[in-house]
């Protein structure tokens, strides 16, 4: 009996601690002490941004299946994202994300994603989400950690997946790409990431502000306006924006993006 009561009290105590932790974490008051390998770059949200408004939000965690190496890669990506800043930005950048600032992107991500997991069985994708089965969780594949892809492109994948968390946008589901799906030179459209022929694949969008569209918006804003980014980052951003832009198959959406960021 005493043992049961004690357990109940301890449960109550633990519950109270967790509730307080949740409230404080939401308010951005402190960073809970976690093993470093389980704490990702969102922890930096609690710091005050230099030129942009301070963002708030809980830390993004790696689940226990994520290797230390993979977790470190994501942490590095988010740390770099925080450094992004530009004085100017496009209209769609402002309406979707806000000003061109790392803290703005991090807050946008933190509002949608809490956890990173892995699925090493998947070979034809870089990352995926399964809301509402796994709400607020991004699953990364081996391709995410491939040295073949630049950091700014990996970051755009995180934003892409975060867009899929939005219930309001019906998760911004993709549509099938045309069959055949060829570029202006008559060449098959291939994924920059996997080399897969995109013809007939559910890897296209009809909207300018879906998961691919917001990749274009972020990458082109970085390419055009980021003052803290080096030349290689801006070139990488421009290159991978092309992959996402190719997947927009509605002419009005293409024109909207072209006017905004090209
Ligand atoms: Zn997607």
Q: Which residues pair with 117 in a beta bridge?
A: 139
**Paired strand residues for 190:** 197
Q: Calculate how far, in angstroms, residue 157's C-alpha sits from the geometric centre of ligand 1.
A: 9
Distances in whole angstroms, Cα of residue 180 to Cα of each of 192, 212, 213, 248: 18, 20, 22, 15
CA 246 → CA 41, 147, 163, 228, distances in Å?
30, 23, 18, 27
8 Å CB contact between 210 and 164? no
CA of 13 to the centre of ligand 1 (A): 41
d(CA 6, ligand 1 centre) in Å = 48
230, two tokens: 């080096």
CB 104, CB 38: distance < 8 Å: no
Name the residue ranges covered by the structural domains of the chain.
31-261
Res 1: pLDDT: 35
Are 243 and 216 within 8 A, CB to CB?
no
d(CA 17, CA 37) in angstroms, rounded, equals 23
The pTM of this model reads: 0.78
Give every CB contact of residue 3 below 8 A, 6+ residues apart in sequence. none
Q: Cα separation of 169 and 90, whole Å?
A: 22
CA of 58 from ligand 1 middle (Å) equals: 24
Q: What is the pLDDT of residue 59?
A: 57
Q: Which two tokens stand for residue 21?
A: 């932790």
pLDDT (tens digit, 0 to 9) for every residue of the chain, 262 residues total?
333 333 333 333 333 322 322 333 323 222 333 333 333 444 433 333 333 332 223 457 999 999 999 999 999 999 999 999 999 999 999 999 999 999 999 999 999 999 999 999 988 889 999 988 888 999 999 999 988 999 999 999 999 999 999 988 889 999 999 999 999 999 999 999 889 999 999 999 999 999 999 999 999 999 999 999 999 999 999 999 999 999 999 999 999 999 999 9
């Amino acid at each position: 009996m005493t043992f049961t009561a004690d357990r109940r009290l301890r449960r109550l105590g633990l519950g109270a601690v967790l509730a307080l932790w949740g409230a404080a974490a939401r308010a951005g008051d402190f960073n809970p002490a976690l093993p470093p390998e389980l704490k990702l770059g969102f922890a930096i949200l609690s710091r005050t941004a230099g030129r942009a408004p301070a963002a708030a939000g809980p830390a993004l965690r790696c689940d226990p299946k994520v290797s230390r190496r993979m977790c470190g890669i994501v942490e590095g990506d988010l740390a770099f994202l925080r450094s992004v800043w530009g004085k100017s930005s496009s209209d769609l950048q402002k309406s979707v994300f806000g000003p061109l600032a790392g803290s703005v992107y991090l807050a946008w991500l933190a509002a949608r994603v809490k956890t990173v997991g892995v699925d090493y069985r998947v070979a034809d994708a870089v990352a995926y989400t399964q809301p509402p089965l796994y709400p607020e969780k991004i699953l990364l594949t081996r391709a995410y950690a491939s040295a073949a892809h630049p950091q700014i492109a990996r970051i755009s994948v995180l934003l892409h997946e975060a867009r899929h968390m939005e219930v309001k946008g019906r998760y911004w589901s993709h549509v099938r790409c045309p069959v055949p799906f060829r570029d202006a030179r008559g060449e098959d459209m291939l994924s920059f990431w996997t080399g897969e022929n995109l013809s007939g694949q559910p890897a296209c969008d009809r909207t300018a502000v879906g998961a691919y569209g917001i990749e274009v918006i972020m990458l082109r804003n970085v390419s055009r306006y980021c003052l803290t980014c080096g030349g290689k980052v801006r070139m990488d951003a421009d290159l991978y924006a092309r992959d996402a832009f190719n997947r927009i198959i509605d002419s009005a959406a293409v024109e909207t993006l072209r006017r905004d960021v090209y």
